[in-house]
Structure 1
């Protein structure tokens, strides 16, 4: 496979990758390295992982990071309520319990709850999406290093679990904080920008077959101008799609001041941004 063929495979499932994204995805598969994607919200980082899973017809396993996430939420935990019921059932059946035998019976696959990281090791080939790693803390980043290095984890009660094949790992970050170099060194890196005008028009027309070229172009131009304003949340491609869908739902085939004013809630998510844009709407659509 070449980067051009990778672009074609992604395009076949609706993800229009530029040369940089296609090459990064190609190298990730060729080198067996995780891909670390940074960029503004709405630039297609998460969608890339989804598209890779669809293009290669393999499962997508997603770990959504958040403040305070720990190994139990990401890797595995034991099903305590079922373990307790099991102990009670043993006691009812046998009377006095042999402690060692009872304890061994508790820590088996039967009571193991696999979370996304463990599932990815077991179910590979798959795409493992570690989404918004910048929301997690330093300790969780350090925990990920062994998994990224060895594609294996150790569960004390069961031993080592190692992937038979490497999962395709995609990490994303909106850069709300800097991710440590130790994690980045283990990955290939790619910064995703918002698409250029022609590609955004192509995305709109590809994802929304009912939209005409005029409307798609008008929305793409308007969204590009919105991104140049000092907004609290500049719109991404997802908002471009939502805005276009809203206009289509109203039966509009072009973007004018009246239809834009009625549908701004599809593309802007803060009242301050709405007020700022309404005051400049005529300039925005000129």
Structure 2
């Protein structure tokens, strides 16, 4: 493998890896080590078939096998129907995939899960000439650089994520944020179970322009929570914490979904874009079967 650092705080390019063949134990161990050190890996690859891509990813962990038919026609890979199609393409009046061409704000996948996916991977099948870049931000580097005033404001706090993502009517404004049937409560600052680094767990807030998931912070009302989250997100969005990926066909981008947030630039909806996506719901290789720890 040939490697090249992509940004100061995260991101490593890997070339020379045969993604169409089984990896050796030594290669897998090296990938895990590089993953923990750099948080996001860009593996240069030819465009893979769905079978080839799923076979490659399964060497790193178990992809989410949930049926995707509520979003698009699923692809059957020997009984596995969990391949996400991230695409703006339409065929015969139906979306080929999901998420369109709009800008998507910083978020972590499946943030309301009791154990969010330890990693997420995307594979570029059809990519745009411009726009559509994927940003990855290190929430560990962002935590390390928190100014003292902001660090004091979050000390000991928990973040409460509404399980109902779209609350357009404000039904949760006066709800008890300790109600586990309505909110998922997690420490705002957590510690990586493998590396020991502290990181911010932000989940999601404004994924799309018209959606604010309105998470709440322990001890703060809705407006106070929003003000604190504004300050945190403004800090996290600083360019020195991020790597912005310009897609090439065949790229496999895999990142630590718990220690990183990601976003997507908008792009021309007349350009075709298709990525295969696979959240890894478990990975003994990348997370040693462990969960994140409270800081």
Q: Fold match, TM over 0.5?
A: no
TM-score scaled by structure 1? 0.23
Structure-2-length-normalised TM-score = 0.23
**Bigger RCO of structures 1 and 2 (CA < 8 A, at least 6 apart):** 2
More strand by share: 2
> Which of the pair has more CA radius of gyration?
1
Structure with bigger helix share is: 1
